[in-house]
Amino acid sequence: MRNLLARLGSVAFVAGFTLTAAHAADCANQGALDSNYCDANGDLVADAPTDPAKLSNPDTLVFAYTPVEDPAVYADIWAPFIDHLENVTGKDVQFFAVQSNSAEVEAMRSGRLHIAGFSTGPTPFAVNLAGAVPFAIMGGDDGQFGYRLQVFTQADSDIKTPADMAGKRIAHTSPTSNSGNQAPRALFPALGVVPDEDYEVIYSGSHDQSMLGVVAGDYDAAPVASEVVERMADRGLYDPADVRLVWESDPFPTTSFNYAHDLDPALVEKVKEAFFSFDFKGNKLGEEFEGVSKFIPITYKDQWAVIRQIQASNGVEYTPQGLAK
């Protein structure tokens, strides 16, 4: 399964989606959802199948976390949670280290991925194209959660404000990334600089690569997610003294944790129980995500409203082609 999923790329996602899409019968409300799904209650996510025969209750649950620079490291970091998820659900759980957002969305859409963490920007694609249902987010004891879009440059750079990025080489991460691309395109014009018009956009592929590229001088600056660069600094992947913070936004929601819409409702309740009872203290997951102490319940309709607004302002359409850019 790992090899098969790893080979899935953007082309396979578009082709597979086109070949297997089927219209939902007698659906009064779909909203932005693909024709595979229905949203009768208006909560903006796919309803569970009404036919019990179409519900999924696999012997082995496949769990994935959003694509990261070093998947092998994160497999080890997530091990305590995987053990807890197995104990609560009574299922075997397989961790899958995804290689791209497209592969992760395609895996859930085709039924091979049951529980997944999707990055902020790709979450709406997962919801609308793959039937993902966001239900949890990492947060603190006070119930707060979120990260900020931050702009970093070299410590000795002449870039002091976002407007100073005009005429420079700026690293964005990928087209679907919220903090790495969508939010800068929506927010930077009001700060005096328009991406692709006032400066050259170069897609680095990830927040890690953007930050390392700034440190190396490959890019003059980069918009990145605060939570990623903080973890990179904690692991010693760059020296904070080599860079300087230029600007940061108000908070955005972090990675959403989702279950596939067709999971058996009884199994969904067990999955939620596992998330909301997990203790981050004293294990590798808690050490990696400093300041996080629990999973907090969320809804896509409420917590992703600002992200949908940013994407709408950028003309984003939740299509396989949009995700595969």
Tokens representing 183? 């939010």
- Nearest Cα residue to 54 out of 82, 76, 24: 24
pLDDT tier for residue 4 given thresholds of 50, 70 and 90: very low
Distances (CA, A) of 169 to 182, 219, 281, 325: 17, 5, 41, 20
Q: What are the DSSP calls for 33-81, one per residue?
A: S-TT---TTSSSSPPPPSSGGG-B--SEEEEEE---S-HHHHHHHTHHH
For 194-230, b/e burial (b = at least 16 CB within 10 A) is ebeebbeeebbbbbbbbbbbbbeeebbbbbbbbbbbb
pLDDT tier for residue 11 given thresholds of 50, 70 and 90: very low
Q: What is the pLDDT of residues 89-133, one digit of tens each?
A: 999 999 998 888 899 999 999 999 999 999 988 999 999 999 999
CA distance 284 to 80: 7
